[in-house]
Each structure stands twice: as structure tokens, then as C-alpha cells.
Amino acid sequence: MHAILTNLFVMNESWYEKTIRSFAVYLFLLIAFRIAGKREIGQVSNTDLLVLLLISNTVQNAIIGDDLTLIGGVYGAVVLILLNKALDRFEYLSPKFRTLVDGEPVHLIVDGQIQEKTMKAQSIDPNDIRGAARAQGVNGLEDIIHAVLETNGSISIIPRVTGNDLELELRLDRIEHMLRELIRSHESTGANA
């Protein structure tokens, strides 16, 4: 029983070493993913998923070292979570730091014009934008006025205003006007009573 408890709760490495290992791996991966670009984060393909799984397996030993104890693994996870929370808080407090870590949104389509150089630099092809458009209820590239690769890797679509949209807006304006008139009439009737 003593051997089991020792294997579970007595770490083979110091808390200090495990903290440094966790911090170093976190920092390395943060920089690596920032360099890799937004696409790897927001649009995970089969090969991207495979790389992520292999990276997690590869860096596992860098974090835990030779320590296979339960407490050592839990401690490594806690350090990573706390580092992530601290980074999130610092990003919240410092917009400049947030831009350094997350980058800035990238415009892929501007005023209906595809930004080919930008898309190539971001490894985004028109099919990626078409997929994002369909997911957001937009038919195709010709219906997009702006498309933005966000800092989280997702693609935001701003559709063109089509004839149907304009017609709907005009109908809504007429309904709002009628409601305002009805309220005014009701208020004046109530005031006269």
C-alpha cells in the first residue's frame, strides 16, 4: 500500500523544476502557434489535428520529465491552467499585449474585392471563405462585401445588401412608423380621457 501511495503522490522531480518545464513548454507552444498563423487554430483540418495530437504527445515528457506520478501530472496541468489564466488576464488589461499574442484581424475581402496576396499569405483559399459564408447563411463570394480572418482563426462574413434585404428593411421601417403612430394616438387618447 505504501508503494502505491508513493507512486501516486511523491513526485520524482521538484516542484520548481516542474513549474519551469511547464512554463517553458507553454511559452514555446504559444510562440509556435503565433508564428504558424490563425488558420491552424480556427480551421482544423485532418492534418492540423494530427499535428496537434502529436505535439501534445511530444511535449508531454518535456512537462512531466521522468515523473509518472499522479500528483506530478496534476501539478503540470495546474501550472498550465494558471499560466493560461494569467495570460488571459494580462491580455485583457493590455490591448498591446493582446495584439502581440493574438495578432490582429486580417481583411480577406474588402468592398467585394478578394485580397489575393493577403489570402495567400494566410494560406486561405476561396473555398475556405465559401465554407464560412455558407455557415453564416451567405450564398457565395459574390454576395460578400467584407470577409475578415479573426484573431481566433474564424472567418467573419459581412454580406452585401441584396434587393430582398432592402425590401425587408423598407417594410420594417413602415411597420415601425405605423407602431409609433399607433402609440402616439393611444397616448393622446389616454391623455384626453
- For the stretch 106-132, pLDDT in tens is 999 999 999 999 999 888 889 989 999
CA distances from 37 to 40, 105, 155 (A): 6, 11, 13
pTM above 0.95, yes or no: no
Q: What is the mean pLDDT of residues 186-192?
A: 73
Domains of the chain: 2-102 (no CATH), 106-159 (3.30.240.20)
- Lowest mean pLDDT segment, chosen from 2-6, 17-21, 27-31: 2-6
Ramachandran assignment for 104, one of left (phi > 0), alpha (psi -120 to 50 degrees), beta (any other): beta
Instruction: Record the cell numbers describing residue 148, joined without a space.
Output: 475578415
Q: pLDDT tens, 27-71?
A: 998 888 888 766 555 566 677 777 777 888 888 888 877 777 888
pLDDT at 193 over 70: no
DSSP assignment of the chain, as one string? -HHHHHHHHS-SS-HHHHHHHHHHHHHHHHHHHHHH-SHHHHS--HHHHHHHHHHHHHHHHHHHTT---HHHHHHHHHHHHHHHHHHHHHHHH-HHHHHHHH---EEEEETTEE-HHHHHHTT--HHHHHHHHHHTT---GGGEEEEEE-TTS-EEEEEPPPHHHHHHHHHHHHHHHHHHHHHHHHHHHHHH-
**Average pLDDT for the chain:** 84
The predicted structure's pLDDT at residue 110: 95
